[in-house]
A = this chain, B = another copy of it.
Amino acid sequence: MQSLIDPDLLFPPEPGVRSVARSLYATVKDLPIVSPHGHTDPRWYALNEPFPDPAQLLIVPDHYIFRMLFSQGIPLESLGVPRLDGAPVETDGRAIWRLFAQNYRLFRGTPTRLWMDYVLSELFGIEAPLSAGTADATYDAVAEKLAEDAYRPRALFSRFNIEVIATTEGALDDLRWHQIIQESGWSGRVVTAYRPDAIVDPDFEGFSDNLDRLAEITGADTRTWKGYLDAHRLRRAFFKSYGATSSDHGHPTADTANLSDAAAEELFSRIRAGSTDEREKRLFRAQMLTEMAKMSLDDGLVLQIHPGSWRNHSAAMMARFGRDKGFDIPTHTDYVAALRPLLDAVGLEPNLTVIAFTLDETSYARELAPLAGVYPALRLGPAWWFHDSPEGMRRFREMTTETAGFYNTVGFNDDTRAFPSIPARHDIARRVDCAFLARLVCEHRLREDEAYELATELAHTLAKKAYRL
């Protein structure tokens, strides 16, 4: 039986180009995985417990999957997604899996389909295409493997050939799982990343309480601007002690500001007092990006900006199921005006690294590549979220390379909570990059020796360098 994953997956059909793509890919497919940005749970690596049933592992937590099923009228309850009100939802993994399998055709042409086929095929040895007819057999085969020790987190970590992986924790997190990992003597390299949204965004749930908690944790006086900034510095140092090399910021826009100390202090006092003025809240978030960049100059953390998502677009779904249920929608995002205050402040610093991501592909060629192609501090994050897909990654290369080159990009991020899919995601990114390079070679825009060098850099080196890992 044919494998679910063809050896030539994603390579251009023209035989000459395919041949070059294959050769390039052969040199990178077994390179270790550097995963500098993601959302796996450090608890997995700390406790090394077996993963739960196939549905709880592969379906229930994956917003790519349940959003598509929901779009075709399948209730989230029937997919086991928990309700905030505690009303009953499906808990039978097999029932959830069957529903998914019956509707697997919905994913045709999507990256989810490729990731899932890859996981079933390469990780679980499944050979039959997933469908209503094969649902049970597939479920059983996956469940059986998950019970084996070889499928526990640390074993998979080795099997996946992960050189280093970053998780993301909130600024108030005690990093207990990272502590356990560090103390366990295990050789796997898992680092954290500093995500301070809860203490930077006045609209975040419990913002004021969060600042009180921050004061407790750090001993800094978060009622003052100076104390608040000190508290950040202390937390950043704490995160660095658990390997963090980066911070991450999920703002609604890419707005930045660079107020005078006095103006920033005055603004903070109004925000701290609970200002509900939208303009002030926006300005505070904007100012904090620049503050974070200035701290990065001191402590070396790489600053990641992930803007442009309208979070929780459906009020009803937010009320019923909470955040992260597939209702985050990209919006038009400006960078040229938005990033200017930050870039004027620190953009010329060659020792600073700010990585900008976008959900608005129109900014690739128009804004982000021209900015990253001149400011020493700025790098382009890879194609992100909805655009972390074959066509999306191809467009990223086609629209950024000519102005920003390859060396102002930072390799691949898998950005995932779905641990079993990590090799799939990196593999697909490597294939897409090799396909792009192969086209450049066959159009004589790049020599073959250069393409080999680049293939390795895109698959491995650039991420290590950019994220200082």
A108 touches B450 (CB 8 A): yes
Stretch at the interface among A33-41, A54-62, A241-249, A439-447: A439-447
* Known pairs A310-B336, A389-B402; A372 contacts B12 (CB<8 A): no
Q: A373-B68, A390-B445, A454-B108 are in contact. Are A331 and B366 (CB under 8 A)?
A: yes
Whether A445 contacts B373 in the complex (CB less than 8 A), given A310-B336, A440-B109, comes out as no
Query: In residues 288-339 of chain A, which contact B (Cβ within 8 Å)?
Result: 310, 313-317, 326-327, 329-332, 334, 336-337
Closest to A376 in B: B73
Contacts of A148 in B (CB 8 A): none
Q: Which residue of B lies closest to A397 (CB)?
A: B109
Name the CB-closest residue of B to A335: B329
When the two chains form their complex, are residues B398 and A391 in contact, meaning their CB atoms are under 8 A apart? yes
**A72 cross-chain contacts in B, Cβ below 8 A:** 376, 407-408
Q: Is the CB of A336 within 8 A of B313?
A: yes
Q: Which of A106, A361, A403 lies at the interface centre, i.e. has the most chain B CB atoms within 10 A of its CB?
A: A403
Q: How far is the CA of A450 from the CA of B4 in the complex (A)?
A: 13
**B386 adjacent to A391 (CB under 8 Å):** no
Answer yes or no: A71 CB below 8 A from chain B CBs. Answer: yes
Task: Count identical subunits in the complex.
Answer: 3
Is the C-beta of A114 less than 8 angstroms from some C-beta in chain B? yes
> When the two chains form their complex, are residues A405 and B109 in contact, meaning their CB atoms are under 8 A apart?
yes
A7 → B minimal CB distance (Å): 9
Identify which of residues 161-220 in chain A touch chain B, using a CB-to-CB cut-off of 8 Å: none
Q: Do B71 and A8 touch (CB < 8 A)?
A: no
Chain B residues within 8 Å of A330, by CB? 336, 366-367, 370
Evaluate whether A375 and B109 lie within 8 angstroms (CB atoms) in the complex, with A362-B366, A402-B389, A445-B390 already known.
Answer: no
* Given A67-B374, A391-B399, CB of A108 within 8 Å of CB of B16: no
Cβ contact within 8 Å between B402 and A386: yes
The chain B residue with its CB closest to the CB of A113 is: B445
Q: In this assembly, does A43 line the interface, its C-beta being within 8 Å of a C-beta of chain B?
A: no
Determine whether the beta carbon of A444 is less than 8 Å from that of B387: no
Alpha-carbon distance between A365 and B447 when the two chains are bound, in angstroms: 33
A147 within 8 A of B: no
Stretch at the interface among A94-102, A343-351, A416-424: A343-351
With A336-B329, A402-B111, A405-B110 known to touch, is A443 a contact of B13 (CB < 8 Å)? yes
Contact of A344 among B316, B331, B440 (CB under 8 A): B316
Query: What would 10 A/B residue contacts be, using CB atoms closer than 8 Å?
Result: A8-B444, A10-B444, A13-B439, A110-B402, A310-B336, A314-B375, A329-B371, A331-B337, A331-B367, A391-B399
4 A-B pairs with the lowest CB-CB distances in the bound complex, closest first:
A73-B350, A6-B444, A13-B442, A109-B401
